[in-house]
Amino acid sequence: MSETSHKTSRSERARLFRERLAEAMQAQWLNRSTLAERAGVDRSTISLLLSEQQLRLPSGHVVADLAAALNVTSDWLLGLATTTRAPGEILRESLEVAQTVPGRADAHIDRWLGEAADAKVRNVPASLPEFMKTEAVMTLEYADYAGKSPQQALADTQTRLSISRLPGRDTEIALPRQRLEDFARRAGIWAGLSADEVREQLAHMAELCEELYPSTRLHLYDQRRRYSAAITVFGQRRAVIYVGSAYFVFNTAEHVQTLTRHFDQLVRDASVLSHETAAWLRELATQVKD
């Protein structure tokens, strides 16, 4: 780099520093004396830095003191960042952790659903779709669950089902078909169900798929080809990953779009599309062994 280009670059940085210093002072209604007192520097130093006739960059510790006094970052003052917020502040806004509360495990979900009333909701559930579960399945799954009792789970199921029936709702669900095949075999956590209870659950899901279609669409994907954690995307506003004791909540457009693309890929690769799901479930019910 030549000496001339170096001087030009430094001059440009000094100009940007002066503009941002003046902008931050104006935003907080600070005069030169007040800022000098807050930052612990001479008022004459502030005047020199604001001068249009003699552009200059202060030393690093003066930049840091001014940034702290103005509640902005040093990088922003120096033109190295486009936002006044510190990286930690940006991270806190883009990602939050919402803890589940015993007895009120779904309180966060209920609030987010209310905020997304006019938006499309995309969901990959951790088990079967909650609002499609029968009483027998809810009683089994929540018998020893710390988050809520079977009675609370049943009440929440009815509330969610009522929400799904409201006009204007748009809900898309992606579920691995292997989970339903395991359920039909009464594998894993469902070993305590009777064959009739399994058939009842599959028939109930089939009926709801037909009743709620097309406002609610259940697609079945092949878990051998695609994997997904339990996620919910609430329109373009928020995306959530469920880890059991907490929700990881992403609020930035980039994160929401990433999880939206992930969900949409599950749907594109689905081996059973939503208009076929009811018939598929009824066929699966015929294969349940006593």
Global pTM reads 0.69
Q: What is the pLDDT of residues 47-106, one digit of tens each?
A: 888 888 777 888 888 888 888 888 888 888 887 776 655 554 544 556 788 887 766 667
- CA 161, 165, 170, 175 dihedral sign is positive
pLDDT of residue 1: 40
Q: Which residues of the chain have pLDDT under 50?
A: 1-8, 88, 90-91
Question: How confident is the model at residue 7, as a pLDDT?
Answer: 46
Residue 287: both structure tokens together: 């294969």
Choosing among 3.30.870.10, 3.30.428.10, 1.10.3720.10, 3.10.20.880, the CATH entry for 93-286 is 3.30.870.10
pLDDT at 117: 85
Dihedral pair phi/psi, residue 267, rounded to 5°: -70, -45
The structural architecture, per CATH, of the domain 3-84 is Orthogonal Bundle (1.10)
Are 142 and 127 in contact by the 8 Å Cβ rule? The answer is no
Domain regions of the chain by residue span: 3-84, 93-286
Q: Do the strands 216-221 and 171-176 form a parallel or antiparallel pair, or are they unpaired?
A: parallel
* Phi-psi map region of 121: left, alpha, beta (phi>0 left; psi -120 to 50 alpha): beta
The tens digit of pLDDT for each residue in 230-254 reads 999 999 889 999 988 888 998 888 8
Extract the tokens encoding 43: 């008022």
Residue 217: beta bridge partners?
Answer: 172
pLDDT at 260: 94
